Structure formats: C-alpha cells, structure tokens
Structure 1
C-alpha cells in the first residue's frame, strides 16, 4: 500500500511520501536508543512539564490537525476536533498522575521478613524503545493513548502509522519535538508493513504495541514471541448492545445510533450487534431504523454531516460483501444496504440496519467496519448472554437494564474487556482498555496501561553487617 494522503470523500490522491530506506531506519533506531539512555533518568516533573507543553500545543493546533485527520480518513470534522481535545486531556491526565501510578511499592515488613529482607520495594522502571504499529481510524487518539503513558514512564517511542494517514503521523513527531522532548524520544517511521519485522527484531527495540486487524496482531505477536519481547495487542471487536425490558428505551435508541455510527462506524468498540429482548424488540427496532435512516451522509468537512465516507475503497468493498452475503441469505434491510445514489465520488455507504441474521451469514461472525447494524431478538437474559458471547471477539459490550440483579449477571457472564451499563462504550485515561479472546491482550490507559511497558523490579535489602 503506498504511503499517501487520499481524500476518501473524493478518491483524489493529494500527497505521496517516500518510504524510509534502510540507512535512515538505522539512523532513527540509533537515535531512539541514545535518547532512551538519557531520557530514562529524567524525573517525573521534567516529563510532566514536557507532556503538558505538548497538550497545550495540541489545543492550539486543534482546528488544523482536525482538518488533516478528516482529509486523510474521512471522519466528520466535529468528531476530529473532539478527538484532538481528548488527546490533550489524556496527556494532561498522565502528566498529573504518572508519578503516583509508578510510585515505589513497599510490601509490609512482616510479609518479607522470612525472605531475609530488612526491607523490600517494588519499582517500575522503563523498558526502553517501544514500537507502536497504529491504525488509521483514530489516527491521533490511538497513538496518544500509547505515547502519553510510555513517555511519562521514561520509555521512548517509534511510530509505524497506517499508510493512509502520513500527515497525521508526521504531525505527531513534530508535536513532541516542539514540546521540547529530547531528540529521538518520539519518531515517526514512514515505512510499509514489510519493514515492521526487521525493526521489531532489532535488539534496540524492547517491546511493541499494536492496534489493528487480527492478521496484523498475529504477525507482530509471532515475531515478538520469537524474540521474547513484550507486546500489547488491541484487535477487532464485534461488541454486543443488549437492551432489556427495564431499559429507558428512548435513551437506549438514541445512544445506539451514536454507538453504531461514531467515526463513520469504523471503531473497534462501536456497538455492532444489537441484541434486544422480545418485549421491546419491535419498538426498539422501529425507532432505531428510523433514526439511522434520518442521518445525514455527506462531506465530512460540513458541520451538519453525521456520517462521512469510509476511509478506503477496499474498506467499503469489504463492508458491501458482508451486507450482500446477508441479504442473499435472507436478511432484511430496514434501511440502507447500498451506496448512496447522490454520492458518486468517494467511498460512502448508507447507514444500514439488518434483521433476520442467521449463523450461516458471514456478518454473524465477522466484524462490520462501517455504519451497518445487525439486530437480533432474544427471549431472556440467558439467551442474550449466549448470543453476546457467540463471537471470536471480546473487546467491550453495552447493556441496557435498570435491574441490579440483571446487571450483576451480565457483569459476571459477558466475555469482554468491558461492560458498560446504560451508556456507550468509551475509552478514558482513568479506565483500563483492552479485550479478551481474539480482541487481543494487555491493557492500555489507566495505571494498568502505563505499567505494561515497565520493568517491575524487586529491590531487596539485607541486613547490614554490625559496625558497618
């Protein structure tokens, strides 16, 4: 895939970029290793000052970088501004909390005395150079939620971003440079996917994090495993959105639309499978389809646009294949199901609601990365849980019920990294984020995320000799 900015609203190639050659990759690896040798010894106050400065610059750049993201991958410009603001918030959060999250831990003396220790501590030390392989769908946020904790922990970063968002990738390197981070602390590598293996196998790279597809995750995990290097993977999702009879139906419907079409439906944690109790199925489905049908599909630079284009022609083709397969096998489209006729240019797709989904349809098992929702009818809580878990993924989930006993059952039985009650799944700096099953492993954000790329070091102190 060429490294290029291609406007998904028009299909026009706006800029192309040359891949880095072997000599330049080597120079950057050396710079990263040198930077880590010095940067790891800086204190939290210094790192926090730099991170807060980066947040301030990002706030000042919000409109410019929002338009860059919209141009490169098609998200509505209002959503792009919100993404930039969220990134600045996360930077400030880690600047404020990293020292506390990584403070030395001292086990009680009576618990370590029989180990011969006069005292003992646990210290979190940075691992080193971390390679981040990141996707295009949240081109700023996906990177910052790795970079902010990694840099605050004393690591340095190498970013291999998606090939269709090169200008956003270069902006991030420049942002941290302008904030005053030492040279080599955060570098963007404009390389294709074939270069990842060589970089990851380099002895100067200590660990890797990847957000992306299941095949990409398998590849990076296999290489890192062969090299015995730490990885964190956040892969696909097919999140259930369960609606029970006690739900506030109007809020559930309104939130369902946002949960499905956020980021033009291109989000791992977007609700994709709507599992609705029979008692409220008809009312929910009618309102949901009506609201989806009313969404404005159009130019993502327009403030009134609800849904912009998909990020790539291939992405739209993949989505069409899933929908067409379902329709051929008997599914019903309550709205959408095709390209909009008034948008001949660009990679647009109509907001779509499908019912009558059966296990033989590909869409029952595979992730839909676009504004397409599948709606199921279930007879009770047990059937809802069974259907929610009938997927190879386990990233997050949404459950609408005001019954405390039902909430406890869902919290216990749903196989996912998160269960959000009476609201929409979201990522937040203070809460751990990640999945189970084929959605990956490890956690981003919160204290769990910042410790992923730390050397958890035991410090053991024996008795000093008498008279020493």
Structure 2
C-alpha cells in the first residue's frame, strides 16, 4: 500500500500539499539514474560544474515570488522577511569561489623519480535529508558543494516542507543540470532507513532532531557510510559588563524569536552579569512586546505560527513546568490575543529560571527564552556548558581577547562575539555533543563531501 505524505499548514490546519511516497523499486531506479549521471559529471571540468550550479541557484532565486508565500503556508514564516534566497546566494557564491583551492591536489613531490600527491574524489551519490525550519538554506549548504565536487545528489525533504526538494530540483534542471544528477525523492522513514542500510549512498547528510540522527546512525551501522549530522542546539548568550547593552538586547531577542524561535542556532537561554541584569530584562521585555503574532501572509505579522501544533504544545509544556517550578513570565498574554492554543503561540520571556527546568536544558525550538543573572565569567561558562548540545554561543563584550579566552573553555561548534544566529560560509558549520558530528561549508565542508586518494608513482628503480 502506498504511503501518502501530507503537509498540514500551520496557517489554518488544512492539507496544503500531498505526495505519494516512492516505493523501494522506484527509489532504486532513481539511484541507478544518479549513478549513471555522476560519472560523466565528475569528469567535466570544475569550471563547468561551478557555472551550472550557480545557474541553478540563480533560477531558484527567480522563483522567489512563488517560494515566499509557499513557505508561509507550509511552515509559517511571515512573508515580510522575504524568504531565504539572500543566504542561499551568499553561501553558493562562497563555495563556488573556494572550490578550486579546496579541491586542489596536495602535491608532495614531482621529480624525475616520483610523483606523490593526494587528490579529492567525490563520494558518488550524496543523500541530503533536509529539515523544514530553513528548508532552502540548510539543503543548499550540502547540495551546492556536493554537486560542485562532482557528486550526484538525492534530496529528501521534511514532510512539513514537502514541495521544497521538488522545486529545487526543477530550478536546477531548468538551468541545464544533467538529467538524473540531482533528484528529489518523497520517502517514508522505513524506505529511507532501508536505502541507507543497503549502502545506497556514498555520504548521508541529515539535519534534524537527535532522535532522527540516532535513527540514521542505526540505519548506517556496519555500512561505514560517512555521515554528517546537525541535530540542533540550546544556544546561550552571555552579556558581560562591558557589552553594548542596546545592541545585545536587539540581536539576542531577534536570535530568540525570529522564525518563531525555530532555529537550530537560535538563542534559547541568556546569562547576564548582575550590574546589567535589570536593565537588560527591562529592555528585552519592551522588545518582545512589540512583536505582532498573526497570519504569516499578512505583511504586518512579525511572528507567525509554529510549524505544527505538536511543536507549540511542547513549548507550552516547558513554559508551564517552569512557571510551576517558580519561574516568572514577563510577557503579558493579553498583548497576543491571536494565541489560539494551537500553532499560534505568544512569545514569552522567563526570569527566575534555573537549570533544574527543562526550558533551560532541553531544546525548546519555539518563541521562548529564559534569562538568568550570573556573578562572573566562571559561573557563566559553567552554565553555558551545562547542556547536552553544543552548536553556537554568543558572547557580548568589547574585549576580543576575553571572548577568545572564554571560547576556549566552551563546549561548542562556533563562538560568536557581538553577534548571534548567523552562519558564515567561510567557517565550518559544526557542533559537538548531541548537536552531532561533521561539518558543512568552508574548505572543511568540501573535504567532508569528498574522500582522499593518494598517488605514489615511482618512475625509476635506480
């Protein structure tokens, strides 16, 4: 019996899109087409591969007027923010710019007697399992460099953003990418795991939940398939006594509430030194109180619904448990009458929180942030590390040496100073602990999407 995948819109609870899941036989046929296309693609000059990938990205950008409302319907982001194409373009341009140097052979010796070098070879077929919260950005973090490096790509998108993979593949095909090289598959979990277990892919990249990452690892067990796993975070901010307070409030609150808090690197907990604590909280409450919760198709809306009622229910549960344990909510619910008890969820800022509360330890992935007072750097570092995740931290100080010194003590993938919730394509996007393993973008991203091969050529025996 065929499984039907359905995207239920958080806007009004309707079924916005549905597609039949591919059978194992259909998936195997797609993989055969990808394998056939990949060999010729890898043999093409790098400059041609770069040009075609950038043409695909350009064609995707030309669809932005359709994509923005489509995303609002599928996952609730307000149309006023204009979609994700700016970031997609920035990241694609950067990986294209560094491709030649990142993929260049490492020459050890070229002499009359020997040639010794290390080259980078594509894995073959890269499988991208993409999330719904930034469906184009996160997917293209792997799609563009994987294709540039000479791989074929199969994309399977989250059901909540069911149409994204289909649209990406169409854009790249219309730009002239060879048939079969980049394909979208609608797959259920069982078929996905079976394909991974059958070693159908040369590399698997998954962005999603910890439980999803564990399922991918179990499926890949014994296959030795390399994995890239980015599994979310509980990212902290730390405001020191020499911080620019107004700027810190603006950036940290935006990092906490943009996209309804549904960002893997969003700010979910904040620690503020005692001298600035009261002023920070006062300014933060004023900032959050100006948000406009509502229909994401309305240009006035700054805070749309969460992607599903289930996600919103978890945030409500965390907030409720924290309040019951002694936390104080500072945002007046009367400011947000659109909160319907379902996907539309009012933002909340909590004080009186501590690390016995789930809201300060477990991923919330919603429009809530807890703020704690700390006495010094040592206490802040201990609290920031007291978490199962390690994606990013945001340090607020005018002293770069101090930020670097603290960064060396923090269990995280990225240390930000005076910014938050940003991905720099020149740096490796990576994490530690339950955030997963591997790394995307930068030179390291290209290295993860290829494998090294060594050549030791002896020319003479004398």
Same fold (TM over 0.5): yes
- What secondary structure is seen at the aligned counterpart in 2 of 1:420? strand
Q: CA RMSD in A?
A: 2.0
SS class of match (1:36): helix
Per-residue deviation, 1:408: 2.6
| Secondary structure of 2:222 counterpart | helix
SS at match of 1:308: coil
Residue 92 (structure 2) aligns with: 91
Match of 2:237 in 1: 241
Q: Note the C-alpha offset of 1:345.
A: 8.5
For residues 1-16 of structure 1, the aligned pairs below 5 Å read 3-16=5-18
TM-score norm. by structure 1 comes to 0.94
Name the structure 1 match of 2:36.
34
Partner of 1:392 in structure 2? 388
Corresponding residue for 2:360?
364
Instruction: After TM superposition, give the deviation of residue 100 of structure 1 in Å.
Output: 1.8
CA contact 2:391–2:435 (8 Å) conserved in 1: yes
In the TM superposition, what is the alpha-carbon distance from 1:352 to its structure 2 partner?
Answer: 0.6
- Between the aligned partners of 2:291 and 2:244, the Cα distance in structure 1 is 22
Partner of 1:46: 48
Does the alignment pair 1:430 with 2:426? yes
Contact 2:113 2:460 survives alignment (8 Å): no
Structure 1's unaligned 5+ residue stretches are: none
Shift of 1:77: 1.6
Q: Out of 138, 155, 160, which is 2:156 matched to?
A: 160
User: Partners in 1 of 2:398 and 2:94 — Cα distance?
Assistant: 32
Structure-2 change in CA distance of 1:382 and 1:119 (3 Å): same
**Residues 200-247 of structure 1: per-residue CA shift (max 9 Å, x gap):** 123431120100000111111222232111001101200010000000
- Report which stretch shifted further, 209-218 or 197-206: 197-206
Aligned to 2:61: 59
1:391-440 Cα offsets, whole Å, 9 max, x none, are 00000110001124421321211110001001123113222101011101
Aligned to 2:138: 142
Q: CA deviation at 1:449?
A: 0.7
Show the 5 A alignment for 1:141-290: 141-290=137-286
Which of 120, 123, 135 does residue 124 from structure 1 map onto?
120
Determine if the alignment matches structure 1 residue 407 to structure 2 residue 409. Answer: no
Structure 2: give runs of 5+ residues left out of the alignment. Answer: none
Distance in 1, Cα, partners of 2:301 & 2:50 = 37
Q: Distance in 2 between matches of 1:311 and 1:41?
A: 42
CA contact (8 A) 2:42 2:151 kept: yes
Name the SS of the counterpart of 1:147 in structure 2. helix
Partner of 2:211, secondary structure, is helix
Q: How many residue pairs were aligned?
A: 460
TM-superposed CA distance for 1:461, in Å, is: 2.0
